Amino acid sequence: MIRVLSVTSECAPLVKTGGLADVAGALPGALAPLGVEMRTLLPGYPKVMAALKKPNTVLEDPDLFGGPARVVAAKVAGLDLLVLDAPHLYARDGAPYNRPDGQDWPDNPERFAALGWIAAQIAGGGLAGWHPEILHCHDWQAALAPYYLRAHHPDARVGTIMTIHNIAFQGLAPVAKLPSLRLSAADMTQEGFEFWGNISTLKAGLVSADRITTVSPTYADELLTPAFGMGLDGVLRARQGVLSGILNGVDLGVWAPPYRTPTGKRRYKARLRQTLDLPEADGPLCVVVSRLTYQKGLDLLLDALPRLLDQGGQLALLGSGEPELEQAFRRATAHANVAVTLGYDEALARLLIEGGDAILVPSRFEPCGLTQLYGLRYGTLPLVAYTGGLVDTVIDASPAGLRAGVATGLQFHPTTAEALSRAFDRLCGLYSHPDLWLRMQRNAMRHPVGWDQSAADYKALYDGLTGR
């Protein structure tokens, strides 16, 4: 058994804003059969605290970044949780990172520094009876843990891993916060965590961890370039030797289609149309389940949409995010073949994926992407931008892909409205050939999207770090 402490700010099914939660929630179960005992350290948001039955206090800290805190151990939904109960930091209503008005909490740096601090304490031997051999940290919210471990527990024999789920989120804080984040001014350097005059907690993790991973091989390559590295490409180039990409998988128990063959989709498509009040149509019913942000390229979808609608296609979108995008999509519903639901709704997300013909992911950058993987499994063909994990998971219906009989979806490049419009032409063309479409659906549904390979890759990484 290898003991691993996974540190994350969100974890499905308890608290989720995006793919990170799915991955953090699935990893322990995926790795258990390989002999990995993973415990997950998570902030005690109200929703998380409410889900705990028989919590057991395993660690106390009378002054954790401004108030008393404790760590409680509990099993929830098959997860072996260590929950950081720090009411002064986490007992707040709403989303994990934002005030009710949508703005970031001003003390987010401290809120997640505390998570890293406790993680380092546990990795440093602070928990009686359980000493992790690996500290696996996810995104900026956990990224101070490897730094604190080095700085405050230098003798700990623990391998550290920093996983980048999205480099757009860097955990920036003004330099005035050095003392309140318990950071040493001596490390406010280019080699340390300094980033254009600010503190970057993500950078602290990237320069401190033994290994760096990200969530697809293509994104690992892209991160080394100025176009995708978002200012951290130089840091990553310097650490290229310890950087690797491991694809995210899908929890096959959670994402299990209620049909075995593509024809089984019909009744779900009918139910979806009925639910959203969409008429019958000749073209493909395209679905989107996404955060509405610049990253996701949905402004390009708005521009290219007429090309889909003109060919008898339909769009059903579920998402929430930037107000301008929300408004623009609301306006798009003037067309009878467009249905838009603003908000977060897991049941509707599932129905969209069950009932859609194609799922659209026109992202400008996409570390891995999960919804195209759901699409594959459900025979809902992914139409994706050629970037990041979308490159690594979809086989394009190019002439070669079709002739070899291996295509599972469509990719377009560059990520522009014009290229997306042309992809809609191809999509509608394929859809009008039911035999071709069915073949692709079968390929898609057979494509392995589970955790097997990636769990083995993480296990190999852990083995390498523990010297096994």
Where does this chain bind ligand ADP (CB under 6 A)? 18-19, 22, 289-291, 318-320, 344-346, 349, 368-371
Question: What are the Cα distances from residue 67, in Å, to 61, 70, 114, 351?
Answer: 9, 10, 11, 44
Tell me whether residue 185 is exposed, middle or buried, using C-beta atoms within 10 angstroms of its C-beta: 0 to 12, 13 to 18, 19 or more: exposed
Compare residues 164 and 289 and give the one whose CB is closer to ligand ADP: 289
Give the residue from 36, 55, 41, 32 showing the smallest Cα distance to 10: 41
Residue 112 in tokens = 């997640």
| Residue partners of 323: CB distance under 8 A and separation at least 6 | none
- Paired with 243 in beta bridges are 212
Nearer to ligand ADP, 218 or 371 (CB): 371
440: tokens are 């692709």
Q: Rounded to the nearest 5 degrees, what angle is found at the Cα of 10, between the Cα atoms of 351 and 340?
A: 30
Decide whether 295 or 466 has the Cβ nearer to ligand ADP: 295
Task: Measure the CA–CA gap between 316 and 285, rounded to whole angstroms.
Answer: 7
- Nearest to ligand ADP of 43, 159 (CB atom): 43
CB of 289 or CB of 376, closer to ligand ADP: 289
Q: How far is the CB of 131 from ligand ADP (least distance, A)?
A: 32
156 vs 317, beta carbon nearer ligand ADP: 317
- In the complex, minimum distance from the CB of residue 6 to ligand ADP, in angstroms, rounded to a whole number: 17
The least distance separating ligand ADP from the CB of residue 76, rounded to whole angstroms, comes to 19
CB of 365 to ligand ADP, least distance (A): 10
- Shortest distance in whole angstroms from residue 247 CB to ligand ADP: 11
What is the sign, positive or negative, of the torsion defined by CA atoms of 114, 120, 122, 124?
negative
Nearer to ligand ADP, 363 or 421 (CB): 363
In angstroms, give the least distance from the CB of 47 to ligand ADP: 16
By beta-carbon distance, which residue lies closest to ligand ADP? 19
**Shortest separation between residue 138's beta carbon and ligand ADP, angstroms:** 12
Q: Looking at beta carbons only, is 121 or 408 nearer to ligand ADP?
A: 408
Give 210 or 326: the residue with its C-beta nearer to ligand ADP.
Answer: 326
State in angstroms the smallest separation of the CB of 19 from ligand ADP.
2
C-alpha–C-alpha distance, residues 157 and 380, integer Å: 46
Q: Least distance to ligand ADP from the beta carbon of 128, Å?
A: 36
How many residues are recorded in the chain? 468
The tokens for 13 are: 């099914």
